[in-house]
Amino acid sequence: MDVVHHPRVAWEGARTFVDAADGNVYWWLSDMLGRSLGVTHQARLSETRLRLQREDAWPAEAAAWRVRLEDMLHARPDLVPVVLQLVADTSRRLSPLRTGARGAEL
């Protein structure tokens, strides 16, 4: 039996989703979040994309997503596999685009 550390899943999801919000993967992830986690998360990603137009917004957005995802996973542990899959799929789509992702700076 695998043990899933919810805070770690939330942090990986936050870093990945915020990186995706600021790039070409945004449209794909937005659609997937809407389908998998609901339109509220899709709207939050849109808000994140807008806030990322400010140069210093990445850390605050990542922190907000970490809390949002951790709270969701605490309330709905059945969504852990969904979030893990979204993170993995998004990371694969980002990997050719990532050249020193901002998440690595934290």
Domain count, the chain: 1
Of 34, 53, 36, whose CA–CA distance to 44 is shortest? Answer: 34
Q: Is residue 90 part of a domain?
A: yes
d(CA 37, CA 19): 18
Amino acid at the residue 6: H
Residue 57 lies in a domain: yes
In the predicted model, is pLDDT for residue 36 greater than 60? yes
- Residue 27 DSSP symbol: H
The one-character DSSP state at 97 is T
Boundaries of domain holding 31? 6-97
Residue 40 included in any domain: yes
What pLDDT band is residue 104 in, cutting at 50, 70 and 90? very low
Residue 103 falls inside a structural domain: no
Kindly state whether residue 52 falls inside one of the protein's structural domains.
Answer: yes
Between 5 and 15, where is the model more confident?
15
pTM: 0.86
Q: What is the pLDDT of residue 98?
A: 56
pLDDT in tens, 17-34: 999 998 899 999 999 999
CA distance 92 to 45: 19
Q: Give residues with Cβ within 8 angstroms of 44, minimum separation 6.
A: 65, 68
